[in-house]
Structure 1
C-alpha cells in the first residue's frame, strides 16, 4: 500500500486561489475572446425530428448586408471532410462490429433529430448571423419517427439509418450466462425489477462556444473552445479532419464554466466553425444560446432495464441478470458506445460479492439528441439499478436495508469482480458505520412518528456506490475498444529565482486544479504556495495530456509529483558539488538540501539559481537548467466508494418531497483538499437529487419535439431544494498511484439518486417509483393508497 505524500498544505483545506478573479468578474471565457476582424456564426437547425432535406436556398441570406458566407454540408463533403466518428469500438455478442450511423457536421441528406445543424451562416455581427440564418430556406420532406426506444425496437419500426436494420447499434453482453442460470435455479428467493434511468440535459453554467481563427500566412489554425480535453480535440481535428497540421493547430480552452462530461465529445458545431473560418479567412465565433444547449448538448443516461437478483435463504446474493436498452439518440457520439458497456455493465457488482453476473446491453438509435458521458457516465446507471434492486430484495425478505448490504459487502482487497474490473482498496463496513452514525439511523423511527403527528410521511433510504475513475491503463483500455491513451503528463519548470511553473495535461473546469496542483508542488519543494503557477488548457504551452473527465486528477497530479521528484534528484546532484559531499549523501527536507557530512545547507531557491548559473558543477556531467517532464499511465482504475443515507418528508396533500437530511460517508483515498472535495460532493449530490426529483428531458412521442427545452419546462434543483449536507471521509489509500488518491467528482451524482428513491419508497411503502419523483406522481400514489 502506498504511503500518501503529506505536506504543510497538501491534504489541508486551502481556499481556492482561482476564486478571486471569478468573484471579481475577471474570469476569461471563450465568449470573452474578441479577435481583430471578428465574425460570428449562427446555425440553421432542423425543426423536424426526421426529415429528408430536399433543397436549401441561401440566396436571401447571402443578399443581406454583412453576411459573409453560408456553409452547407455538401461544401464539407466536397472538401473531403469525413463523418464524425465514435471513439470506442464495441462488438455485438455475435462478433459483429457496432453499426455507426453516418453523422456529418452539417446534415446533407436527412435530419434525424430536432436541432441537428443543416447550414452555417457567417456574418459581421451575431444578430446579423442569426437574422440571416432565419432567411435560409430549407425544403424538408417530413418523415415518420422512432422517438422512443420501444418504438425504435418494434417490428416494422421506422429506420433511422437505412443501412442499420432494427435501429440497433450493437447487441452486447458481458458475464457468465450459464453460471447465472445455475445460480437462479438453486436460489431461495429471486427478485425482479424493471426501471428507467431518465434522460438528462447537462446544463453547465457556460454554454458551448468556439472562436476559430485561420492564419493563412502561417497556415495555423487557432481555436478557443469550451472543451475538457484541448489536446485530445486538437489531435482529432488534425488527424481525422486534417483542418491543419497538428503542430500548426492550437487549441486554447481558458476558464470553463462547468463540463460534467458534456464538453468532452467532438461536436458538429466545432468542426463546422473551424472549417468556416478557413473559408472566410476571418475569426469566426459561435456561442450557443440556452435553447441550443438543451437541443444539442449531448444528453445523459436514458436506460430501460429489466433486472433480477437471486439470493439464498439468508439474504446473500448469488447472481444478477440484467437486460438494458440504452438510448444513444440519432447518432453514436464520441463515447456513446463506451458508457452503457464498459462504464455501466462492468460496475453492476457494486460493493457486493455477487458470484455470477450477466448483462445484455442493446444500444438503440432514436430520433433524439445523441447521448454521451454525463457526470458519472454509466456508473450512476449501474448504482441506481443495483441499489434499487437490493432495497426491493431487503423488503421482500424482511431484512433491514443497511443490514442486507452489510451481509454482502466485499471484505478482501484487491477484489476481482465477475465483470472485468479489479477493485483496488476499501473498507465498506467501516464506511457504512460512519454513514449510519452521521445520519442517526437508529433514531429514525422517532422522527418518523413526529412527522406522522404533523400529517407527513417520512422515509429513509440507504445507497452504496462504487465507481471506476482515474481511467487507465492505456493498454487495457485499448483492448476494450478505446482509441486513445489514458495517461497524463506534467512538466515542471523551475525558474532562476526559485518560482515554479507546472504545465499539466489535465484541465480544470471547476475542480480547483490551480489550487490543488500548487499545494502538491509547493509542499514537495518546500516553497511558498504563492510561488507556484499552474498552466493548463493551451496546446501551445502543454506538451501532451488527455484532459479531465472521470476524476483524473489523481493521474495528472501523479505525473506532477514524478516530475517534482526528478527536479529534486537533479537538485541533489547540484547540491553535492556545492556542499562537497557525495550525491547519495544529500537529503532534501522541507525545502533544504543538507547532508550529515557537511555543516552547510542549500535552500531550494539557492539550488535553482545555481542550476541556471551553471558555474558550481561540471556541465559535462550535469546539464544546466531545471525542467522535468513526466508521463503517468496508471496501472489500474481507482475505485472510490461510499454510503449515502437520505431522509425525506412527504406532504401527501401536495405530493411535494422535502429532502430533510442527507448524510454521506465517502472513501476517496487520500484527499488533497477537503474543502474543494466537499464542494464537489455537494454539487454532485445536488445533481443526483435533481435527477431523482425533477429533471427529465422529454420528447413528444409523435413529433419528436423536445418539450422540456427551457428552464420553464425542465425541472432544476435550486438552493432551497436541498438540505445542508453532512459529510465524512472514510478513506483507504489507493495502491495504484503514488498519492493514494481515488477521485471524487462523480460520487454525489452516483450515490444520491438511489438514496432518494429508496427513501421515497420507504415513506410510501411502495415497491418502486420511477425517476423523477415529481409532486404529481407522488400525489397520485398517495391518492391510490388513500393517505391524502
Structure 2
C-alpha cells in the first residue's frame, strides 16, 4: 500500500495552497516605503561603438531622480564566469569584462547602456526612451563559423572571438582517431541544438535597499541561489562587504536555469538605492526577458560513431561549436564542457571518446545553463547518431543500444570521459518503456494511421545524466571557482516542532513539501510540524542553491546529516531523563525508549527538556536543540532512463503530432512520487517544445527576430499527449544517505531525440528517405525535407 506520509508518500505540495489561491509572494509583490523605479535604455543595434550619450532631455522629464550610464560603473568589477577552462594547448580561456552597464561598446540587442531612476515605473520608461545615444553601428557576427573565421570582433581587447578550444580527454585523442580509422562502419552526423529562451512565468525583478544608518544593503530578487548572488556582488562587482548585504529570494515563478546567474540589473538597483537614499525597484518586461535573460543550448556538433562488424561501439568523436553570446554568464563555460563532454559516452560501453568544444563569442544574448545544461545536448547527439547508424546498418535501433549498454554487473563503471557510474540498469528501463509504450501494438496503430493518409513513427532513446555536481575538490581541479556542497540547519523548538533552514531554493520543485517529508520520516512526527525556510541569506546557512537536480541529493543529504545530529543529542537528553546509558536508548516512531524496558519519552518531552535544562550534566549536554551540517558529495548522481515517443506526420503539410509518450526513469529512491511525476511532465513538455516549435532566431545583423510570443512558439496543451511516467526501476545511489539521484531535468533530456527519432522513423516508413532534420521540426522544415527526398 502507498505510504500516506514521510519518504515515499505522495504528500500534496503544501506550497500549492498559496500558489493556486493567488497568495504567493513574488519579488514584484514586494514594495518598500518610499521606493522608486528603474528602467533601462537598451541597444537597438547588435554591435556598435558608443560615441556619446546625452541624458539632458531625459533628466528634465517629470519624476526623474537620476540617470546612470556605463561611465558610472567603469571602475567597478565585472560579473565573472563561474568556471575557468583551459584550451587544449594549455592557454587560459578569454574572459572579457561583463560590465553593469555597457561602456564603450554595445554587443547585443538589448545590451543596457543607461538606467533611469524615477518616481514611477512609467516615468522611468518614458525617460529611458528619451535618452539620446550616438552609436557608430559596427558589423555584427551571429554565425559561429564566421565569428571564428575572421568575423567582426565582439571584444576588441581579446583579439579573437574564440573563448577557448577545449579537448576532453586529450589523452584519448590518438586512440579515438585510430579506432575510427580502422572501424568496420562509421556513421557521421552534423546536428544543431537550437537556441532556446527560458520563458519562466515570472520575469526577472529586483528591489534594492540601503540603510545609511547601518550601511546595510538588502536585495530582494528572483534567484535560484541567493548566496551566490551575494558572493558575486560583494566580491567581484560592487565590493559591498558581504556581511552588509542580505539577498532574499521569495517565491520564484520558474527559472529553468535562467535565474541562477547574477545580472547587472541587480547591482544597479543596489548602487542606485545607496546614491538616492531610497529603495529602487525594477521588474522586467517580457520583451526585456526575451532579449536579456540567458538563453539556452545553441550548439552545432559534428558527430562520428565507429562500430565493429558486430555492431559494438568502438569510438565516438565530436566537434562542437558552442555559442556563449556576447558575454560570459556565470555557468556558460561549464555547460558545454564538463556538463556536456563528460556525458558523451552515454549509457554505453564505448571504449574511446574524444570531445572537442570551441566556445564562441557572438553578438547575441549570453548563453548559459538551461534545464539539463549540457546533458540534453550530449544525449541528443548520441541518441540521434545511434538511430542513424542502426538505419545505415539495417538493424533494430533498440537492439543496437542493448548490445552496447553498460550492464548491472559492471558497476562501478568508469567511462572513457572520466565519470564513475555507481549504479544503474539500462536494460530494465528499456524493458519498462517498451511495455508501457505498448510497442507490441505499434504495427496495428501504424496501419490505422496509414489508412487516414498519415505516417506514424516511434522513437526510442536511452539517456543518462549527471546531477548534483561534485565533489568540491574534483570540480575545483576542473576549474570551478565555487564549492558545490550544500547546507541545512535543523532548529527544534521547545514545543517539539521544527524550523528547517536549507541552502537550496525552490522555483517550482516542491521543496517545502519534500524536505519536510525527509525530516518527518526520520523523527516520526507529522509533516505539518516542520517549517522549511529558504531564500533569505540572513536566515539560512551558506548554500549553493538549486540547479542541476541537486536539491535532494546534496541539500537533502545535508538535511539528513543535520537531523542525525539532532537525534544524537536528543538521545543524550532522553538517556538523562530516563536515567539510562545512552547506548541503551532506541528511537523510533517519534519516541525514545530504554531497550528491554517499558520506559519511554516522547519527542516533544525531549524537545521541551532541551530548553528547560534544570538538572543537565552540563559537562555532557548543552542546552538547546539545533544543529547545522554541510554536505559535500563524493560523486555525481546518475539518473537514467528510456523514453518512447509516438508521432503522426501529415506528408502533405509536414505537420507533426505527438500522439503518445512514455518515460521510464531510474531516479534511485523516490521521496514524493507525485512531485517526481510532475517534474517529468514539465521536462517532457519543454523537450517537446524544443523538438517541434521553439527556436530563438537572430538575423545576420544580430536583430532578434523571435522577441515576443508572436514570433517565438511555446508548446501548448494541445501540442502534448498524455505522458505515461514510470519510475519503478530504482537503483539507489550508493553515496548519499537518501539514495536519491535527481529528477528535475530528465524529461527535457530524453524527449528531444525521442521526438526527432520518431519523425524520421515515420517518414522512412512511408518510403521518404530522410536521415535527419534539425530542430525545431516545424511543419515547414518537415515539408521541405519531404520534398527534397522526393
SS of the aligned residue for 1:81 comes to: coil
SS in 2 for 1:367: coil
Q: 1:783 aligns with which of 761, 769, 787?
A: 787
- Structure 1 stretches of at least 4 aligned residues deviating more than 6 Å after TM superposition: none
Mean Cα displacement is larger for which, 117-126 or 645-654?
645-654
Shift in Å, 1:11: 1.1
Aligned to 1:468: 466
Q: Check conservation: 1:577, 1:616, Cα contact below 8 A.
A: no
- Aligned mates of 2:630, 2:783 — CA distance in 1: 55
Q: Which residue of 1 aligns with 2:179?
A: 183
Superposition deviation, residue 736 in structure 1: 1.5
Partner of 1:451: 449
Task: State yes or no: 1:110 paired with 2:105.
Answer: yes
SS of aligned partner of 1:118: strand
Matches within 5 A, 1:79-478: 80-154=75-149, 156-175=150-169, 176-411=172-407, 412-478=410-476
Q: CA deviation at 1:543?
A: 2.2
Separation in structure 1 between the aligned mates of residue 508 and residue 447 of structure 2, nearest angstrom: 42
- For residues 720-773 of structure 1, the C-alpha deviation after alignment (integer angstroms, 9 at most, x for no partner) is 110010111111000110000000111010000000000000011221011000
* Corresponding residue SS for 2:762: helix
1:48 aligns with 2:36: no
Q: Which ranges of structure 2 fall in alignment gaps of 5 or more residues?
A: 765-769
CA deviations over 1:214-237 (Å, ceiling 9, x no partner): 111110000000011101111111
TM-score, length-scaled by structure 2? 0.97
The total of aligned residue pairs comes to 777
Distance 1:785 1:95 in 2: 45
Alpha-carbon distance, 1:696 to partner: 0.5
> Bigger CA drift: 98-107 or 195-204?
98-107
| Cα deviation, residue 264, structure 1 | 0.6
Q: Shift in Å at residue 274 of structure 1?
A: 1.7
Distance 2:397 2:261 in 1: 38
Q: Distance in 2 between matches of 1:475 and 1:242?
A: 28
Q: For the Cα contact (< 8 Å) 2:611–2:623, is it kept in 1? A: yes
Q: Which residue of 2 aligns with 1:677?
A: 676
Q: Which residue of 2 aligns with 1:3?
A: none
Give me the whole-angstrom Cα distance separating, in 1, the residues matched to 2:19 and 2:181: 60
3-state SS of paired residue (1:610): helix
Could you give the per-residue CA deviations for residues 37-91 of structure 1, whole angstroms, max 9, x where no partner exists?
01000000000000000000111111112111001111112xx311221111000
Query: How far has the Cα of 1:602 moved from its partner?
Result: 0.4
Please list the CA deviations of residues 167-191 of structure 1 after superposition, one character each: whole Å capped at 9, or x if unmatched: 1000110121111122112211000
User: Distance between the aligned counterparts of 2:513 and 2:454, measured in 1?
Assistant: 45
SS of 1:193's partner is strand
2:774 to 770, 773, 777: 770
* Deviation per residue, 1:768-787 (Å, 9 max, x gap): 0110000111122333445x
Separation in 1 of the partners of 2:4 and 2:227? 31
Which residue of structure 1 aligns with residue 608 of structure 2? 609
1:489 corresponds to = 487
SS in 2 for 1:434: helix
Separation in 2 of the partners of 1:289 and 1:575? Answer: 57
1:609-648: CA deviations, max 9, x gaps? 1111112431232001100111100000001001000000
| Distance (whole Å) between structure 1 residues aligned to residue 657 and residue 246 of structure 2 | 48
Structure 2: distance between partners of 1:573 and 1:421: 42
Would you say 1:34 and 2:31 are equivalent positions?
yes
Decide whether aligned partners of structure 1 residues 783 and 185 sit closer, same or farther in structure 2, where only a CA change above 3 A counts: closer
Partners of 2:140 and 2:232 lie apart in 1 by 32
Q: Distance in 2 between matches of 1:507 and 1:99?
A: 31
Measure, in 1, the Cα distance between the counterparts of 2:377 and 2:14: 35
User: Using a 3 Å threshold, how does the CA distance of structure 1 residues 134 and 505 change in structure 2: closer, same or farther?
Assistant: same
- Note if contact 1:311-1:319 (Cα within 8 Å) is conserved in structure 2: yes
Pair 244,166 (structure 1): closer, same or farther in 2 beyond 3 Å: closer
Counterpart in 2 of 1:61?
58
Find the aligned partners of 1:157 and 1:480 in 2 and give their Cα distance: 31
Look up the match of 1:595. Answer: 594
